Structure 1
């Protein structure tokens, strides 16, 4: 492992089995990285075969990678906490293993916080309905991408992105690409690390990755910071990559339990009704 360099952007990627998805994600980061990054992969109790494949891949990538491991599956929150303990840069990006990133994504996300200190977290636009405020219907392709590599995924979305960004080619001002929103999902989420810490990272009562990012959004706004989406940055999100093999009944139980916790904490906010409408639509489009 190389020495710490505070100019680097730390990217935390939790993974639980599904080595093919993580491999695709890492290759896309290697291809589209425009600045120094340090990848912190947190193996959350994966099977030995998955761990072995990822270790071999990491040795062949032109990236600085730290591989950490939990002996048993602890869930999203604990994986992020394990990862962030090994980060010391001013910004950290939380990235799901079932994503494919695009050109300059680290720079596009972090530069907004660098230029505007009132913003504590930034996310890209997304193709997946469960990303709620980041989801863009023009990018919604109702098909599976399981057999496509990172190049092929990018090729499928390139025409849609070119059309949607044509109007911004002549004017790339920050204000034209930044949309402030009340909630961000953590499929790809860039954070000011100190703001993340002051927000208490993630609320401890949630289980296994449901509503923790929405709760974090509220905590960050409670500190007086804004949340933003960079409309000029797209990250493909497959959706439910880590939870594919969990039984539907178990997922439903987790979701409703976490939802009740979230409502108790934040249901009074004026944005809550709009959030619920978006979640209901996403649930109908992408059943668990």
Structure 2
């Protein structure tokens, strides 16, 4: 007699790029703590060129494996898996995550029982159990972060007035959810569309959340947690030295500027680009004046300023494509 196949409650999607050990640890935690949910796991490989498939499927033979054939980034890889997913709910889950309890079943139940909810996630903690308190859970917080202004209260107050936050009666409701753990219904994706494939990495979850949010509320469960180690294949797209003016990861900011253009229009994008261009002579001039005051060489210790100018140059590589909102893989 042929076994009856149960409906799939949840399709878990991982994007792999040379991180088999992380996915193995993540999947181990998923199967250890998850119960009451019929799930499937889909892994999309972004041309890792290593033994990822053999290492993972040897331990988890039921995984459904897909090869992109090139490093397609986050959106395109997830979209491939979404198209093949059998579950009524979809979970985007980073390779560098661990679950600590039956969180997945709780989220599935919430989506099943509350049709007004479009998507759900949980609080991120690090390996030491500390909560990531610096959460950009509103669009306003992200947009304000893009502006490099003096940290004095007057300037910050003006920036808040210029770019306010949305406020909700439910403390769990937010504007957007991180793609490191984002669960939504397949039926919602059918209405809102898949992730925007112009995004290579970063920003795509913010833009996608904006579209998902048109079909229901976005919930960040403040009393639920998962571990986000925050390392893995994305390290090569991160800068190592961070200062106040150089706090943007180049790939992240290229993507975020694309998000600004798509969600808020060409004017908001041009305003940010103008802001960065005007900052270049300001920060160079300020540092030169400091050098003169300290009786140092006029053009000494300008590496921070030079790095900022270099980053702005990277953003400008994509200027016309972003202005025209041209479909393109925005990868540095």
Give the distance between the partners of 2:124 and 2:118, measured in 1 at CA.
19
Q: Which residue of structure 2 lines up, in the alignment, with residue 241 of structure 1?
A: 232
Q: Which residue of structure 2 lines up, in the alignment, with residue 204 of structure 1?
A: 197
Q: What's the TM-score, normalizing by structure 1?
A: 0.69
Q: Is the 8 A contact 2:17 2:45 kept in 1?
A: yes
Shift of 1:184: 0.6
Q: Which residue of structure 2 lines up, in the alignment, with residue 8 of structure 1?
A: 9
Structure 2 counterparts to residues 209-220 of structure 1, below 5 A = 209-220=201-212
1:123 pairs with 2:136: no
Query: Is the alpha carbon distance of 1:212 and 1:36 closer, same or farther for their aligned partners in structure 2, counting shifts above 3 Å?
Result: same
Q: For residues 139-159 of structure 1, give each alpha carbon's deviation from its aligned partner in whole angstroms, at most 9, with x where no partner exists.
A: xxxxxxxxxxxxxxxxxxxxx
Q: Which residue of structure 2 lines up, in the alignment, with residue 181 of structure 1?
A: 174
1:226 to 186, 196, 217: 217
1:190 to 183, 187, 194: 183
Query: Is the alpha carbon distance of 1:55 and 1:99 closer, same or farther for their aligned partners in structure 2, counting shifts above 3 Å?
Result: same
Query: Is the alpha carbon distance of 1:118 and 1:27 closer, same or farther for their aligned partners in structure 2, counting shifts above 3 Å?
Result: same
Greater RCO structure (CA 8 Å; 6+ sep) = 1
Structure 2 counterparts to residues 38-77 of structure 1, below 5 A = 38-59=40-61, 64-77=62-75
Query: Is the alpha carbon distance of 1:264 and 1:188 closer, same or farther for their aligned partners in structure 2, counting shifts above 3 Å?
Result: same
Give the distance between the partners of 1:38 and 1:25, measured in 2 at CA.
14
1:82 pairs with 2:83: no
Q: Is the 8 A contact 1:5 1:89 kept in 2?
A: no
Q: For residues 1-44 of structure 1, give each alpha carbon's deviation from its aligned partner in whole angstroms, at most 9, with x where no partner exists.
A: x9864243111111110222111101111101112211111122
Q: What's the TM-score, normalizing by structure 2?
A: 0.60
Which of structures 1 and 2 has the bigger CA Rg? 2
Structure 2 segments unaligned to the other structure (5+ residues)? 126-131, 139-169, 241-247, 266-332
Query: Is the alpha carbon distance of 1:247 and 1:124 closer, same or farther for their aligned partners in structure 2, counting shifts above 3 Å?
Result: closer
Q: Secondary structure at the match of 2:172?
A: strand
Q: Is the 8 A contact 1:108 1:233 kept in 2?
A: no
Give the distance between the partners of 1:8 and 1:115, measured in 2 at CA.
13
Q: Which residue of structure 2 lines up, in the alignment, with residue 254 of structure 1?
A: 251
Give the distance between the partners of 1:54 and 1:103, measured in 2 at CA.
22
Q: For residues 60-114 of structure 1, give each alpha carbon's deviation from its aligned partner in whole angstroms, at most 9, with x where no partner exists.
A: xxxx421222222111111111111221222111110000012112111122221
Give the distance between the partners of 2:183 and 2:10, measured in 1 at CA.
10
Q: What RMSD over aligned residues (CA atoms) do the two structures have, in Å?
A: 2.6
Q: Secondary structure at the match of 2:250?
A: helix
Q: Is the 8 A contact 1:109 1:230 kept in 2?
A: no
Bigger mean CA deviation after superposition, 123-132 or 76-85: 123-132
Q: Aligned residues, how many?
A: 219
